Amino acid sequence: MKISEISFSKSKNTQNQVPYPFLKWAGGKRQLISQMKKFFPKKFNNYIEPFVGGGAVFFELYKKDLIKNGAILIDNNKELINCYRVIKDKVEELIESLCKHKNEKEYYYKIRELDRNPKIYNKISDVEKASRNVFLNKCCYNGLYRVNSKGQFNVPFGRYKNPNYCDVENLRAVSVSLKNVKIIHDSFETCLNYAEQGDFIYFDPPYHPLSATSSFTSYTKEDFGVNYQKKLYNVYRELDNCGCKLMLSNSYSNFILDLYKDYKKVELKAKRSINSDATKRGEIKEILILNIYK
């Protein structure tokens, strides 16, 4: 199915609530939107995001009513995509489940340990899995989504006084924004199956590390190394040749600058507060890579 076959309409929200990311996500773009939005194309056919993560760019485009046709959100993180699907289709069930959680250390670890036993975890409903992941994200240390090599969530309890893990109004607003959006669990390459001339595609991949110790790609159990960065570049180039409007975020590194040497680059200043090591938080440079919008 081509994205052009998917209708998109911005439904009325009786509360006039503007949706925003329902999860805190490493590398999330909510704090960079003010710098990025000036480079958004004014007109495009459909919107595709192959590394949706927290979805800050999608929600900004939705808020500005720039998505006139279709939208596809893609991510290779199965748990994340399940959250989007549940919020889209079963938001009231999710809210009911979230309201049952408790912000207590012993309870937190009990919920966190559920994925250690696949036989038990696989029997849990999609709603309960989404509820678990939203709860853990809001109550874990620094809102850091991280899994081990087995794909098991392993972030410790955050000790927050009143974490808002059941943000009812926002969850409902997010559900409205996703009403006619296609949500896909797959690798970034799948965007090639949907993209057409005139579409706007934003890539926010795991960043190329600035040093041997700065890499953080544990959104899934697979790493996103140099070979994947090169594959992503090939996808970017193919979409450029197809006439798509492209924007890509990455680290301000010599490797990335050289890889995308033929494209326009814009330097952004980002504040990173999600690193588990407080001494490594602060302002850093990022790069925004654009093709020439026709």
Spell out the residues 6+ positions from residue 14 whose beta carbon is closer than 8 angstroms to its own.
none
C-beta separation of 32 from 268 below 8 A: yes
Where in the chain are all domains bearing CATH 1.10.1020.10? 87-168
- What phi and psi, each to the nearest 5 degrees, are found at residue 228? -70, -35
The per-residue pLDDT for range 85-117, each reduced to its tens digit, is 999 999 999 999 999 999 999 999 999 999 999
pTM score above 0.95: no
The per-residue pLDDT for range 111-121, each reduced to its tens digit, is 999 999 999 99
**CATH code, 3-78+169-290:** 3.40.50.150
Q: What is the pLDDT of residue 212?
A: 57
Neighbours of 207 (CB within 10 A): 23
- What phi and psi, each to the nearest 5 degrees, are found at residue 39? -100, 0
Spell out the residues 6+ positions from residue 21 whose beta carbon is closer than 8 angstroms to its own.
28, 30, 54, 55, 56, 59
Burial 99-116 (b: 16+ CB within 10 A, else e): eebebeeeebeebbebbe
pLDDT exceeds cutoff 80 at 223? no
Where in the chain are all domains bearing CATH 3.40.50.150? 3-78+169-290
The topology under which CATH files domain 87-168 is: Adenine-specific Methyltransferase; domain 2 (1.10.1020)
C-beta separation of 287 from 267 below 8 A: yes
d(CA 107, CA 139): 11
Listed range (3-7, 200-204, 285-289) with the worst mean pLDDT: 3-7
Residues across the chain: 294
